[in-house]
Structure 1
Amino acid sequence: MTINQAPQALLQSAFGFPAFRPGQQEIVERLINRTNTLCVMPTGFGKSLCYQLPALMADGLTVVVSPLVALMDDQVAGLLANGIDAACIHSGRDRATNVDDWMRVRDGRAKLLYLSPERLMTERMLAQLDRLDPAMFVVDEAHCISKWGASFRPEYESLSALHDRFPNATLAAFTATADMATRQDIAAKLFRGRGDIVVHGFDRPNLRLEVEPKADWRRQLVDFLEPRRNRAGIVYCLSRRLTEEVATFLAERGFRALPYHAGLSPETRRENQETFMAEDGVVMVATIAFGMGIDKPDVRFVFHLNLPASMEAYYQEIGRAGRDGNPAEVQLLYGLSDIRMRRQFIDQDGGAEDHKNREHKRLDSLLAYCETTQCRRVSLLAYFGEQTAPCGNCDICLDPPEVVDGTTEARKLFAAIRETGARFGAGHVIDVLRGTASDKVGQRQHDQLPSFATGKDRGKSYWQGLIRQAVAGGYLWIDIENYGSLKLTDKGQAVDDGAERFFSREIRETKSGRSRRRDPVDAGVAADFDADLFAKLKALRRDLADAANVPAYVIFSDATLQDMCRAQPTSTEALAGISGVGPKKLANFGETFLDAIRSYTGKA
């Protein structure tokens, strides 16, 4: 491979792509010109190529800092499949393999070296790199470096020393998820103010956004999945235990559901991930341990059974849907128990008070998103500093809620909280409001309070919804240290005193927990390719990937296989014109795929 090519020529000769995706060329040119750059780019927009191509053109080594061993291995496998020599060193490989990779780096054969931050920032590794004078350092998942971020990792913070240790190296950082404060903190730590921040937008207009109060999660999940049985998707759960429970529950109902969490063996996780990547209609039931670096373009839905940790986490997790640009759906269930649990996680994480306060505010923003009465996309993008018009592709736009004056009901609720001493959670307060003669109510003589039975004309689900809105709106807060008791804020006290009004979205009471039946979006997968041939080529790809012990997409992406099905090439020259078929892959796999196409089409 000739490295001294123009970026456009190298894009074709090394990676087999005829053109850059939107936004890629700007980043590539900045790094070629040795400009320190933080790039914020949505998931699925091809950020890896933005640093891999400049790395090939650089006069020296590029070190890529990556947080996950599996992600490093997959990235290197993908580069090697394109004929690009790359290396990674980590504790999951035997010493001989690590030594062999280091020798290729030392001798200048490998242009890219993937390392974890812990391995990179050891004095031994830094001393070895001093001798090589790297041309560029790339920090992937760069939001982990910032204490302002929602996913701060202390081992990432040490990367701020790279600027002083390697003053001649270009520094690049990439993330799909960072608000303005986090972006500025990353740039300050890595670049010392001498670098650019490039934001290529957060909007994913192909995603239909929906949020629903949690009533009966089993019923709601099945209602959502039943009309989507043949589509690939992810169901996110908060715990390992729930992940296993949900996977079993779905499998018993005939869904192809597989679990994924950190408690499973590496072999099981890898096998389940590969099945999800290679086969159609698989539902991955997972904790957040699943997702980073997953390059499956046709994930048609992401369903959250629990409230994510923050708006950043939510955005990153829904970003796994619809990476092929076709319509996809994201659905979130949440309830008061989720809010309480998230507050508890924040308070018990051992961080400093200012960090806890930031995390509580991040959660507040997500709750406000859940209870918003305006377009969800407007709310989501506003959090990241972008403005947009209502999208017409979220539950609020499709079924606008009615905003009502809920002051009377709110004052009944706040009075019950005040009269019970603000020492009880939602369940007991609702019992008082509805006049439920529970043992707990009777023992404390709360049936003698003025607020007892003042809300008996409303159902339990109504009061649960009103409490959710009051918490999300900052009228109430959940006191985790006192067993999740509800307490009035100053804002709530003003309503209780009659000084302010309380406006809420209309609460539709439900008894069965049955979700509204919204038809699945048209997946938009073009009907201009032969689906049977596509299935044949995917099976061939899976066999080749298994034999090479690499992920299926390392052989060819789904998009490349679909282009093959459209063009149905029968010659090497024609196959070389398919996007994603570079010279190395053409040499290694070309005849195998051509034989399959010829056999299917009957053309020699």
Structure 2
Amino acid sequence: MEDTRVLHTLKEYFGYDSFRPLQKKIIDSVFAGKDNLVIMPTGGGKSICYQLPAILLPEITLVISPLIALMKDQVDGLTANGIPAAFLNSSQTESQQQEIFKKIDSKELKLLYVAPESLQFVDRFMTDGKISLIAVDEAHCISSWGHDFRPAYTQLGYLKNRFPTTPMIALTATADKATREDICRQLNIPTAKKHIASFDRKNLSLDVRAGIKRFEQITNFVKTRKKESGIIYCLSRKNTEEIAEKLQRKGFEAEAYHAGLPAEKRIEIQDNFINDHSKIICATIAFGMGIDKSNIRWVIHYNMPKNLEGYYQEIGRAGRDGLPSDTLLFHSYADVVQLQKFASNSGNEEVQLAKLDRMKQYSEALSCRRKILLSYFGELKQEDCGNCDICKNPPQFFNGTVIAQKALSCIFRLKENEPITLVIDVLRGSQNEAVFSKNYQQIKTFGIGKDISWHHWQQYIIQLINLGYVEIAFHRGNNLQLTSMAKNVLFEGEKVQLAEVPDRKKLKRREENIVEENSSDNSLFEKLRQLRLKIAREEEIPAYLIFNDATLKEMEKSRPMTDDEFLQINGVGRQKMQDYGYEFIKEIIAFSKAKRTNKKRKKSNTYKATLNLLNEGLSLEEIAQKRELAITTIYSHLAKLYAENEAVDPLKYISKADFKAIEKAKAELKNPEGLKVYFEHFEGAIDYGSIRLALTVLEKQEAEV
């Protein structure tokens, strides 16, 4: 097909001047008569890959789609674009169906959407040559390895046998390696060209929290986003109604959506949301498939999803316009128990339980969450994303190369034939039947990790999976397999950074503290966050490299006002104190003054102690020695006392030459923020204490003018 004609069709019917990545390649393959498997994330433009060829191909295109609502949305969209399309399903009257059959006979239609259960209705019209293309949408539904298995899809294999010369295109937003292979096998398209788009949605922030005081956390989350649209996904219909009602009572525009509502009511709620009449939808996973609302700014999972495919598909409904959007996932042990019950009632219990376990591992991960998601879908990334809660608040890391080598070597020597539990047993030299029955006590890696606890080994191997060195073969008994990246660690000297496994009790306490977050625009945390953002932009570095959120929260709680106090904050080292301490302390002092917050704080007595010693005639060095504090801390006390109009004379402690030099630098450098700029300007010739003191005097003089 000529490129100019294809581009003209794209512009004419869909309004785009150019294709997104992969679209043109897929469309060319369809025109070449080849079978295709398309794995493309939500919002990536899958539909155009078969809708555009359908316009230009001579006969009708048959589209297999799982949901009536999804078919209706697609057909409405095509019709609005001037493309003749219809859908056929069991909910229609006989006269409605006859009308569609007439259009098929007269070749008036370009696309016909059919549910797999309704294929018999069009069977008499389908002969080889009358169909130009067969598209199987939501193709993961055919696979028992997939996250949304639908038995009716398994009959679709006959289509290729009946129409061997008709190209077939199978499309899905989410499918792991095992599911991709199964789709092609069951559809009888083993030689299908695989097109796998990047799963990296950089604009989505990823945040995971323990399911403690969830509604309180949700309220704090949405009250700063009142003008934005969002979805809250729940496991039960009851939860959707309860949360929607609670939000309404707090003044939010929220509605509940689930399959138990009348069809008219569901349509009304969906339309209200799409058209921005309501901002928040509290829904079961029945909501969202096929919705093309591009400005959903956030997605919250009130409960943990049953697998990573579903989770990825649901968060993918946020930020389809490419603008920054937030996702928040709550997880709890109760969710896991509930989902295990669901899995036990499914037709493929073992696979569903393994995928649920992988979802749980993601929720409890200590490494970049985006890397975990991408590696799950076979996309391996070396760099952390900087836009998830782990990257923004990283744990303590250590050189875990030897641990990684032991684990990877053990998996290799077990011939990639065992699941995580047995791999750990072999590493720890366990004397049990599972090990002895296969003579694994004979292999070289038996017992090489006996010094590490079972729980720690489990966490380290999960990290290796999350980092992309190992993958779980769900279709091979959940065995651990090495990825292409593993050889870099085993044979090429690549180093591996592993996160320290936190103490479980401490972790629980830390997660409970999350609910104390104050999202008010006027909170000290927000002031410090804005200051951090300003510095980050000036220095062109990620904000979390300055201080992470946990450090800012501790500053908010402790309100340090001296160098010594500032150094006690977790995440503040000497260099960061020198580089950023002046500005952050200044912000904290200003906030405390404005709010008149507890001026007689216990810690503020430290200034009075310094003042008393000054009045006794002691030098700054003598005070520092007597109080066992750093000299820079005493300088900061002096500056604070002077700023608060105590009877002290800072100029007694700075040479005239130094004061004049600092005054001149302040004018020349045009009031730079931070002591570091001055310190570097003087190449270390004037100490931080003198700089701080001189600037305090100059700022007060300016204020009095």
**TM-score relative to the length of structure 2:** 0.58
Aligned partner of 2:102 in structure 1 is 103
C-alpha change, 1:382 and 1:57, in structure 2 (3 Å) is same
Task: Tell me the secondary structure at the aligned position of residue 504 of structure 1.
Answer: coil
Aligned partner of 1:85 in structure 2 is 84
Whether the 8 Å CA contact 1:89–1:102 is kept in 2: the answer is no
For the pair 1:356 / 2:349, whether they are aligned, the reply is yes
User: Which one of 379, 384, 387 corresponds to residue 390 of structure 1?
Assistant: 384
Q: May I ask how many residue pairs the two structures share in their alignment?
A: 428
Q: Kindly state the Cα deviation for residue 6 of structure 1 after the two structures are TM-superposed.
A: 1.7
Aligned partner of 2:491 in structure 1 is none
Task: Tell me the secondary structure at the aligned position of residue 126 of structure 2.
Answer: helix
Q: Kindly state the Cα deviation for residue 5 of structure 1 after the two structures are TM-superposed.
A: 6.8
Task: Tell me the secondary structure at the aligned position of residue 26 of structure 1.
Answer: helix
Task: Tell me the secondary structure at the aligned position of residue 165 of structure 2.
Answer: coil
Give CA-to-partner distance per residue, 1:131-180, whole Å, 9 cap, x none: 76311110000000111111111000111111101112110011000001
C-alpha change, 1:29 and 1:3, in structure 2 (3 Å) is closer
Aligned partner of 2:260 in structure 1 is 263
> Where do residues 256-405 of structure 1 align in structure 2 (5 Å cutoff)?
256-279=253-276, 282-349=279-346, 351=347, 355-388=348-381, 389-402=383-396
C-alpha change, 1:264 and 1:337, in structure 2 (3 Å) is same
C-alpha change, 1:472 and 1:154, in structure 2 (3 Å) is farther
CA distance in 1, matches of 2:88, 2:77: 16
For the pair 1:183 / 2:180, whether they are aligned, the reply is yes
Q: Kindly state the Cα deviation for residue 4 of structure 1 after the two structures are TM-superposed.
A: 11
Give the RMSD, CA atoms, in angstroms: 2.8
> Where do residues 467-506 of structure 1 align in structure 2 (5 Å cutoff)?
503-504=501-502
For the pair 1:245 / 2:245, whether they are aligned, the reply is no
C-alpha change, 1:192 and 1:152, in structure 2 (3 Å) is same
C-alpha change, 1:90 and 1:470, in structure 2 (3 Å) is farther
For the pair 1:507 / 2:507, whether they are aligned, the reply is yes
* Amino acid in the other structure paired with 1:9: H
Whether the 8 Å CA contact 2:459–2:501 is kept in 1: the answer is no
C-alpha change, 1:131 and 1:170, in structure 2 (3 Å) is closer
CA distance in 2, matches of 1:339, 1:89: 39
Q: Which moved more, 1:292-301 or 1:367-376?
A: 367-376
Aligned partner of 2:628 in structure 1 is none
CA distance in 2, matches of 1:17, 1:158: 36
Whether the 8 Å CA contact 1:66–1:139 is kept in 2: the answer is yes
Q: Which moved more, 1:259-268 or 1:191-200?
A: 191-200
For structure 2, the residue ranges without an aligned partner over 5 or more in a row are 399-453, 463-499, 531-705
Task: Tell me the secondary structure at the aligned position of residue 300 of structure 1.
Answer: strand
Whether the 8 Å CA contact 1:72–1:114 is kept in 2: the answer is yes
Give CA-to-partner distance per residue, 1:23-57, whole Å, 9 cap, x none: 21111111111110000001001111111011111
CA distance in 1, matches of 2:83, 2:123: 24
C-alpha change, 1:516 and 1:36, in structure 2 (3 Å) is farther
CA distance in 1, matches of 2:278, 2:456: 36
> Where do residues 417-456 of structure 1 align in structure 2 (5 Å cutoff)?
none
* Amino acid in the other structure paired with 2:39: V
Task: Tell me the secondary structure at the aligned position of residue 47 of structure 2.
Answer: helix
Task: Tell me the secondary structure at the aligned position of residue 10 of structure 1.
Answer: helix
Q: Kindly state the Cα deviation for residue 503 of structure 1 after the two structures are TM-superposed.
A: 3.1
Task: Tell me the secondary structure at the aligned position of residue 13 of structure 1.
Answer: helix
Q: Kindly state the Cα deviation for residue 281 of structure 1 after the two structures are TM-superposed.
A: 6.0
* Amino acid in the other structure paired with 1:313: G
CA distance in 2, matches of 1:470, 1:234: 37
CA distance in 1, matches of 2:38, 2:262: 34
Task: Tell me the secondary structure at the aligned position of residue 136 of structure 1.
Answer: strand
Q: Kindly state the Cα deviation for residue 125 of structure 1 after the two structures are TM-superposed.
A: 2.6
CA distance in 2, matches of 1:348, 1:28: 40
Task: Tell me the secondary structure at the aligned position of residue 6 of structure 1.
Answer: helix
> Where do residues 38-57 of structure 1 align in structure 2 (5 Å cutoff)?
38-57=37-56
CA distance in 2, matches of 1:269, 1:27: 35
Whether the 8 Å CA contact 2:456–2:501 is kept in 1: the answer is no
CA distance in 2, matches of 1:252, 1:168: 60
Aligned partner of 1:455 in structure 2 is none
CA distance in 1, matches of 2:457, 2:104: 58
Whether the 8 Å CA contact 1:141–1:175 is kept in 2: the answer is yes
Task: Tell me the secondary structure at the aligned position of residue 174 of structure 1.
Answer: strand
Aligned partner of 2:139 in structure 1 is 142
Q: Which moved more, 1:23-32 or 1:285-294?
A: 23-32
C-alpha change, 1:512 and 1:381, in structure 2 (3 Å) is closer
Whether the 8 Å CA contact 1:36–1:191 is kept in 2: the answer is no
> Where do residues 83-232 of structure 1 align in structure 2 (5 Å cutoff)?
83-120=82-119, 122=120, 125-130=122-127, 133-232=130-229
Task: Tell me the secondary structure at the aligned position of residue 502 of structure 2.
Answer: strand
**TM-score relative to the length of structure 1:** 0.67
* Amino acid in the other structure paired with 1:206: N
Aligned partner of 1:424 in structure 2 is none
C-alpha change, 1:219 and 1:62, in structure 2 (3 Å) is same
Whether the 8 Å CA contact 2:128–2:162 is kept in 1: the answer is no
* Amino acid in the other structure paired with 2:133: M
> Where do residues 540-559 of structure 1 align in structure 2 (5 Å cutoff)?
none
Q: Kindly state the Cα deviation for residue 264 of structure 1 after the two structures are TM-superposed.
A: 0.3
Give CA-to-partner distance per residue, 1:319-376, whole Å, 9 cap, x none: 1000000000110001110111111111133x2xxx2111111111111111111111
Whether the 8 Å CA contact 1:104–1:110 is kept in 2: the answer is yes
CA distance in 2, matches of 1:356, 1:471: 22
Give CA-to-partner distance per residue, 1:380-406, whole Å, 9 cap, x none: 1111111121000000000113479xx
Whether the 8 Å CA contact 2:59–2:110 is kept in 1: the answer is yes
CA distance in 2, matches of 1:150, 1:280: 32
Whether the 8 Å CA contact 1:187–1:197 is kept in 2: the answer is no
Q: Kindly state the Cα deviation for residue 93 of structure 1 after the two structures are TM-superposed.
A: 2.6
Q: Kindly state the Cα deviation for residue 77 of structure 1 after the two structures are TM-superposed.
A: 1.4
Give CA-to-partner distance per residue, 1:90-146, whole Å, 9 cap, x none: 1233322221122111211101110001101x2x53232127631111000000011
CA distance in 2, matches of 1:219, 1:474: 34
CA distance in 2, matches of 1:239, 1:337: 13
C-alpha change, 1:517 and 1:117, in structure 2 (3 Å) is farther
* Amino acid in the other structure paired with 1:204: R
Whether the 8 Å CA contact 1:308–1:314 is kept in 2: the answer is yes
Aligned partner of 2:537 in structure 1 is none
User: What's the % identity of the aligned pairs?
Assistant: 40
Greater CA radius of gyration, 1 or 2?
2
